[in-house]
């Protein structure tokens, strides 16, 4: 009994000496209104953050080479659009000249001894009025004939002492109804010293000149666009060299050549659009400025000569449509050229 009492006392004393049980630590949680600590810069995103992170472009969108290429493309587009506008102005002027010459015929009566000039003029006017397709027939007066000869022979000209031919101006309403060969034969048979001039020589020369201007304009445009293509090729090679490691890794891990080429095409397509639109807008502003200056300087000698040659120096609707076509062509050429250059480079890597 005494032994058991001693045992109980030892257990009680041990229980009193034992340290109390540690209380459970509460779970840490984010306090309301407290922001999460920012992730270190070198730490890679995990979970949903990795899925939402946008993929970086292979070609840097903003680079010194890209800005320089945009400026080059804009200059080339501006020159090409100016060429299109100049060709449009010359073509419209040549077309207007041809229409005027086709609708005008001249009867020339040379003076001869013993021939009454006034009577021959009346006979030619009456004969021309009988043909269908002719709107009006008018003989030029002595004052009008003098004004035509004054630039070459000077003022104070006396027609009585000179063998000056007289001219009859014929305005054609419908060239298809007029039988020109019959008119020429009838006038030469019935009017002494008369001949018919249909201005066919001038019309053919104008057509040849307009065709030469158009061909020259296309040649200039081909040279400008060719220079732009070479610039795009060099810029693509520079971009490939600057991103050589990225392209090589993508290529060796199995990325298709078409994928890499499309990345470069997308990049250079945007550059081509920016440069082409800038050059096209600058060309349109130049066209409007020239048109405004021409109208303001009307009445001056130089402006009148230019107006007599080309009419109103203004670009017509086909010219502006050609500007939009040049902008579209520039963008497509930059994209295609960059894609072909990338594929050629990757083929060499293989």
Residue pair 175/102 in contact by the 8 Å Cβ criterion = yes
- Is the pLDDT at 82 greater than 80? The verdict is yes
CB neighbours of 60 closer than 8 A, spacing ≥ 6? 66, 242, 243
| pLDDT score of 138 more than 80 | yes
* pLDDT score recorded for residue 64: 47
Among 25-34, 70-79, 170-179, 324-333, where is mean pLDDT lowest?
25-34
Q: How far is CA 77 from CA 81, 217, 275, 334, 335, in A?
A: 6, 14, 7, 12, 15
Does pLDDT of 337 surpass 80?
yes
Do residues 232 and 275 lie in contact, with contact meaning Cβ atoms separated by under 8 Å? no
Please say if the pLDDT value at position 282 is more than 90.
Answer: yes
pLDDT in tens, 209-251: 888 888 998 899 899 988 888 888 888 777 777 777 777 777 7
Q: What residue spans of the chain are helical by DSSP H?
A: 2-17, 48-52, 64-102, 117-129, 142-153, 180-190, 200-242, 244-252, 257-296, 301-310, 317-349
Encoding tokens for residue 114? 């013993």
Instruction: Indicate if the pLDDT at residue 323 is higher than 50.
Output: yes
Mean pLDDT of 161-183: 84
Three-class SS of residue 253? Answer: coil
Closest CA to 276 of 327, 333, 223: 327
pLDDT at 298: 61
- Residue 171 phi, psi dihedral angles, 5° rounding: -100, 125
Q: Which of 147-161, 265-279, 325-339 has the lowest mean pLDDT?
A: 147-161
CA distances from 29 to 34, 38, 40, 48, 49 (A): 10, 17, 21, 21, 21
pLDDT tens digits for range 8-31: 544 544 444 444 444 444 444 444
Average pLDDT for residues 344-350, to the nearest whole number? 72
pLDDT tens, 286-321?
999 888 887 776 655 555 555 555 556 778 888 899
58 vs 216, more confident? 216
CB 91 within 8 A of CB 322: no
Stretch (H or E) spanning 106:
strand 104-109
Residue 156 has pLDDT above 80, yes or no: no
Work out the percent of the chain whose per-residue pLDDT is above 90: 9
> Is the pLDDT confidence value at 62 over 70?
no
Pick from 90-94, 222-226, 342-346 the range whose average pLDDT is largest.
222-226
**Average pLDDT of the chain?**
76
> Over 80: is that where the pLDDT of 157 sits?
no
Return the residue matching tokens 């984010």: 30
Asked if 184 and 107 count as a contact pair (C-beta separation under 8 A), the reply is no
Mean pLDDT of the region 65-73:
80
- CA distances, 251 to each of 46, 89, 238, 244, 267 (Å): 26, 51, 18, 10, 18
**CB contact set of 56 (below 8 Å; sequence gap of 6+):** none
Identify any residues that bridge with 168 across adjacent strands, giving them in sequence order.
Answer: 107, 139
pLDDT at 341: 81
Q: Residue 141 and residue 139: Cα distance in Å, rounded?
A: 6
């Amino acid at each position: 009994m005494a032994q058991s009492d001693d045992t109980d006392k030892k257990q009680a004393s041990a229980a009193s000496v034992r340290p109390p049980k540690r209380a459970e630590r509460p779970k840490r949680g984010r306090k309301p209104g407290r922001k999460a600590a920012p992730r270190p810069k070198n730490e890679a995103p995990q979970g949903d953050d990795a899925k939402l992170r946008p993929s970086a472009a292979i070609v840097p969108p903003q680079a010194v080479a890209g800005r320089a290429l945009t400026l080059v493309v804009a200059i080339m587009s501006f020159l090409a659009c100016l060429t299109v506008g100049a060709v449009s102005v010359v073509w419209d002027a040549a077309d207007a000249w041809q229409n005027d010459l086709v609708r005008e015929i001249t009867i020339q009566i040379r003076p001869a001894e013993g021939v009454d000039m006034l009577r021959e003029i009346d006979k030619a006017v009456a004969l021309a009025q009988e043909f269908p397709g002719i709107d009006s027939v008018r003989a030029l007066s002595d004052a009008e004939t003098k004004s035509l000869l004054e630039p070459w022979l000077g003022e104070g000209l006396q027609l009585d002492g000179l063998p000056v031919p007289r001219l009859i101006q014929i305005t054609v309403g419908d060239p298809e109804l007029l039988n020109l060969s019959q008119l020429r034969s009838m006038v030469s048979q019935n009017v002494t010293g008369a001949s018919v001039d249909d201005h066919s020589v001038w019309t053919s020369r104008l057509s040849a000149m307009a065709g030469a201007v158009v061909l020259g304009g296309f040649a200039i445009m081909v040279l400008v666009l060719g220079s732009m293509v070479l610039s795009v090729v060099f810029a693509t090679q520079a971009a490939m060299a600057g991103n050589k490691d990225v392209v090589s890794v993508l290529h060796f891990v199995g990325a298709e050549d078409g994928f890499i080429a499309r990345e470069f095409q997308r990049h250079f397509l945007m550059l081509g659009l920016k440069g082409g639109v800038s050059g096209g807008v600058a060309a349109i502003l130049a066209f409007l400025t020239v048109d405004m200056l021409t109208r303001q300087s009307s009445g001056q000698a130089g402006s009148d000569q230019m107006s007599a040659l080309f009419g109103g120096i203004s670009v017509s609707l086909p010219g502006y449509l050609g500007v939009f076509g040049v902008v579209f062509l520039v963008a497509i050429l930059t994209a295609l050229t960059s894609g072909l250059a990338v594929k050629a480079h990757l083929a060499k890597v293989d």
